[in-house]
Amino acid sequence: MRTLTGLQPSGKQHLGNYFGAMRPAVELQESGEAFYFIADYHAMTSTHDPGELRENVRDLAIDFLACGLDPEKAVFWRQSDVPEVNELAWILSTVCPMGLLERCHSYKDKVARGIAPSHALFAYPVLMAADILLFDSNEVPVGDDQKQHLEVTRDLVIKMNERYGEGTLVMPEPIIREAVAKVPGLDGQKMSKSYNNTLPIFGEEKPLRKMVMKIVTDSTPVEDPKPVEGSVILQLYKLLASDADYQAMVADHQAGGTGYGDFKKRLWEAYWEFFAPMRARRAEIAADPASVDQVLAAGAARARQEAAVVLDRVRATVGLR
């Protein structure tokens, strides 16, 4: 069984990235074949500064390794180091109906948020399909925001196999991780860089503490019980604290007599302690940048070997060989 996950290098990784993609990926590397890549081609739809893109790629590589990705257990590479993905994307585009892409809500959402419309932004799902299909991926972990794109991938597999013969491409199955949608931002909306409401997993202590203390709450007096339903503090605390500590905070919300400032302090302590081992590991990795380059280069070499098998099969099937 082969699992594939791609993360876009679009800035500092936050709790939503960690619990939605990074931790599940680390867990999956313990069973079956794990293929993980840094989606820098995709990032070019919104990041146009070369220096920023390079920095984001390196930071994401370091973060992922610090969070437990093991290059001995998983293939880990930079998307642009495997150019075969672009050839497969072109082949897929020859069977992709315009209407399939026009129905994708992600393009409209991004344009509405101010990202300049472009062919790359519009055709994003086709490149994502190529990312998945180039490695005969069996399973792809996805959250709510990517489910539609995976359906596009599956539609393209059907169209390719109908036109060129069964077995041309392998049909991937989604692994739906509902936890992705349950990581709230500091303002109560879904945690997202687009909303500027994220809590980074790494950074300096003082700024991060200030971010936690600025979490939006209501005006319930200290002495009164606090609402449990929809509490951003409780939702984040549940991810970071033990079950016993979480239940204790719920009880304190219901009992009254404790202010939101105290609850935020508990959340801060749990958050800082949770990522302490990863912060230490990150410092070690960052101190040896050459080792990161070696990991990505070795991963790209392995990924290209696997990609060549699939692309050669597809080329022959469609008449390019």
**Is residue 197 domain-resident?**
no
Q: How far apart are alpha carbons 181 and 165 in whole angstroms?
A: 37
Are 130 and 244 members of one domain? Answer: no
Q: What is the pLDDT of residue 34?
A: 96
Are 174 and 261 members of one domain? Answer: no
pLDDT 10s digits, 170-204: 999 988 765 444 799 999 998 988 789 999 999 99
Residue 35 confidence class, pLDDT cut points 50, 70, 90:
very high
Are 54 and 108 members of one domain? Answer: yes
Residue 180 near residue 19, CB atoms below 8 Å: yes
Q: How far apart are alpha carbons 119 and 122 in whole angstroms?
A: 5
Residue 25 pLDDT > 80, yes or no?
yes
The three-state DSSP-derived secondary structure of 193-211 is HHHCCCCECCCCHHHHHHH
Q: What is the pLDDT of residue 178?
A: 56
When pLDDT is averaged across residues 146-150 and rounded to a whole number, the result is 82
Are 131 and 266 members of one domain? Answer: no
Residue 243 pLDDT > 60, yes or no?
yes
Are 261 and 138 members of one domain? Answer: no
Question: At 192, is the secondary structure helix, strand, or coil?
Answer: coil
How many domains in the chain? Answer: 2
**DSSP single-letter state for residue 19:** I
Exposed e or buried b per residue across 259-268, where buried means at least 16 C-beta atoms within 10 angstroms of its C-beta: ebeebbebbb
Are 12 and 99 members of one domain? Answer: yes
**Is residue 190 domain-resident?**
no
Q: What is the pLDDT of residue 143?
A: 72
**Is residue 172 domain-resident?**
yes
Residue 101 near residue 131, CB atoms below 8 Å: no
Nearest to 133, CA basis, from 150, 108, 145: 150
CATH of residue 264: 1.10.240.10
pLDDT 10s digits, 77-88: 999 999 999 999
Residue 222 near residue 257, CB atoms below 8 Å: yes
At a CB cut-off of 8 Å and minimum separation 6, what does 257 contact? 222, 223
pLDDT mean across residues, the chain: 94
Are 122 and 42 members of one domain? Answer: yes
* Inter-CA distances, 221 with 225, 227, 231, 258, Å: 8, 11, 15, 9
**Is residue 284 domain-resident?**
no
Exposed e or buried b per residue across 135-148, where buried means at least 16 C-beta atoms within 10 angstroms of its C-beta: bbbbbbbbbeebee
Which residues constitute the domain of residue 159?
2-183+289-318
Q: What is the pLDDT of residue 177?
A: 63
**Is residue 217 domain-resident?**
yes
pTM of the model: 0.92
Residue 20 confidence class, pLDDT cut points 50, 70, 90:
confident
Residue 177 near residue 114, CB atoms below 8 Å: no
Are 159 and 307 members of one domain? Answer: yes
**Is residue 138 domain-resident?**
yes
Distance of CA 209 to the CA centre of its chain: 24
Q: What is the pLDDT of residue 188?
A: 92
When pLDDT is averaged across residues 52-77 and rounded to a whole number, the result is 97
Are 96 and 222 members of one domain? Answer: no
- Quote the tokens at residue 310: 């699939």
**Is residue 234 domain-resident?**
yes
pLDDT 10s digits, 200-226: 999 999 999 999 999 999 999 999 999
Residue 296 pLDDT > 50, yes or no?
yes
| Residue listed under structure tokens 């935020």 | 264
**Is residue 30 domain-resident?**
yes
CATH of residue 77: 3.40.50.620
Query: How many CA atoms lie less than 13 Å away from 75 in the CB half-sphere?
Result: 22
Nearest to 293, CA basis, from 15, 1, 76, 132: 76
> Which amino acid does the sequence have at 255?
A
Are 178 and 207 members of one domain? Answer: no
Are 220 and 177 members of one domain? Answer: no
* Inter-CA distances, 98 with 12, 124, 203, 291, Å: 34, 13, 43, 43
- Quote the tokens at residue 273: 């302690």
Query: Looking at the annotation, which residues are catalytic?
Result: 110, 190, 193
Q: How many CB atoms lie within 10 A of CB 206?
A: 8
Are 63 and 172 members of one domain? Answer: yes
